[in-house]
Structure 1
Amino acid sequence: MTQLLEDCAKRLKLSQLRSHIAELTADQIQFLEQLFTREIEHREATKLNLLLKQAQLPQSGHEPFNWQHVQLAKTLSKEDLWDGQFISEKENLILYGGVGTGKTYLSRCIALNAITKFGHKVRFYTIAGLVNQLIDANQKGQLNKLMNQIDKLDLLILDELGYIPLGKEGAELLFQVISMCYEKRSVIITTNLQFGQWNHVFGNQILTEAVIDRLIHHSHLIIFTGESYRYRNSSIRK
């Protein structure tokens, strides 16, 4: 058995092939190598498409991310983001800055890289969207099902914290999600609020402190400065 055929057989879990290899001709071996290689490529493409579909990433452009107005924490480098190091370490990212400064776009870029290069399971939610799903699932007795889906992720992205208050039930359910993720998977939070203002979202000081405590224990802060990209390119300003 050639090394290529052996590697393909392992990946396709065809261990019984070893016992029949001596019966095959060189042409048959070459044919199997080509067949197995195409099958592996097909499976990988199918898996990638499924991961991308499950991630529910927002639609956006494909231009490279502009780091001009971004300040990384000293504990973090661009390479750490692209090679998925923070995901391997189950660390969190807090992306803080004004509206339209690129927080969501960077989180999407990180997610795409994590999926396409490393096969990580990722899910993108707006805070409001996730809270609505949590409340609906709780009312229908299906909360455990939704929690189990989140529990299987490598990276959870929670976008737009700070735009609307969550209400008591929503805040408590979101706290359950963040607690479940603590030290088990990475979370990316995008927000336009400083930590001292998060109480306006959760509506309870004790709950707010508990959320922040779990998020910042293993986290890196990324600060976005500058003006809104949409405003900068708006027809009104022009």
Structure 2
Amino acid sequence: MSELLVECAKRLKLSQLRSHIEELTAEEVQFLEKLFTREIEQREQSKLNLLLKQAQLPQSGQEPYEWQHVQLPKTISKEELLDGAFLEKRENLILYGGVGTGKTYLSKCIALNAITRYGHKVRFYTVAGLVNQLIDANQKGQLNRLMNQVDKLDLLILDELGYIPLGKEGAELLFQVISMCYEKRSIIITTNLQFGQWNHVFGNQVLTEAVIDRLIHHSHLTIFTGESYRYRHSSIRS
């Protein structure tokens, strides 16, 4: 009996065929193996394309990541970061550093690996973009629908925390998202602010402390130093 054909039939949920494989000729087995293998490959590629589309990752270059200005904590290695080992533990990443130091690009690299290697469901938002969607959905009575979309994720990326204050409604809605994710899925946050400055974003000390408490309970703080990548490659500098 062809083990390959049995496995293909199982993956394609062709239970009736599996019970009749022994009745097939060698030529029929060979033909079906090629046919089913091609079908599985096409389905996997379609699934991958859909996951990449749904992730809404930012457009950027594909050059190798430069690690010389990244300070990793002792709790996680570069390999564990890129392999997404923290996802299985429902841990968070907080990427802290100045503008243009590579925080967003690293979060994209991690997301791509999580999708292409393991088929994880990922969604990338700027904090401002998500908050605007939350407010709009709340006003239209569609907040549960948006929350359900987040609830299906394996990894939520919140980019650019700290660039603008969120306002009372936006801060409270973002807190709801973070609370919903707590110990259920991983969050990556990129920020240019130290924890002590997050109150400027959330506008409420109690709410700020509650957000930080949930994020840092199972988290790894990675610090980015050096100057802006865009500034280093700018014609103005020369």
TM-score (ref. length: structure 2) = 0.99
Alignment partners' CA distance in 2, 1:144 and 1:73: 36
Matched, 1:150 2:147: no
- Dislocated runs of 4+, deviation >4 Å: none
Secondary structure of residue in 1 paired with 2:74: coil
**Distance in 1, Cα, partners of 2:226 & 2:83:** 27
Structure-1 separation of matches of 2:116 and 2:2: 29
Match of 1:80 in 2: 80
2:234 matched to which residue of 1? Answer: 234
**Structure 1: tracts of 5 or more residues without a match:** none
User: Equivalents in 1 of 2:18, 2:94: separation in Å?
Assistant: 50
Other-structure match for 1:214: 214
Structure 2 gap segments, 5+ residues each:
none
Q: Identity rate of aligned residues, in percent?
A: 85
- Residues of 2 paired with 1:123 and 1:193: CA distance? 22
Deviation at 1:84, TM superposition (A): 1.5
Q: Is the 8 A contact 2:101 2:227 kept in 1?
A: yes
| Aligned position for 2:179 | 179
Distance 1:132 1:21 in 2: 55
**Secondary structure at 2:19's aligned position in 1?**
helix
2-structure distance, mates of 1:22, 1:70: 58
Given that 2:83 and 2:110 are in contact with CA atoms closer than 8 Å, whether structure 1 keeps it comes out as no
Counterpart secondary structure, 1:34 = helix
Superposition map of 1:67-146 within 5 A: 67-146=67-146
The alpha-carbon deviation at position 19 of structure 1 amounts to 2.1
The residue type paired with residue 162 of structure 2 is G
2:47 is aligned with 1:47? yes
Task: Please state how far the C-alpha of 1:23 moved relative to its aligned partner.
Answer: 2.3
**How many residues are matched?**
238
Q: What do you get for the CA RMSD once the two structures are aligned? A: 0.6
TM-score (structure 1 length as normaliser): 0.99
Q: Distance in 2 between matches of 1:102 and 1:82?
A: 14
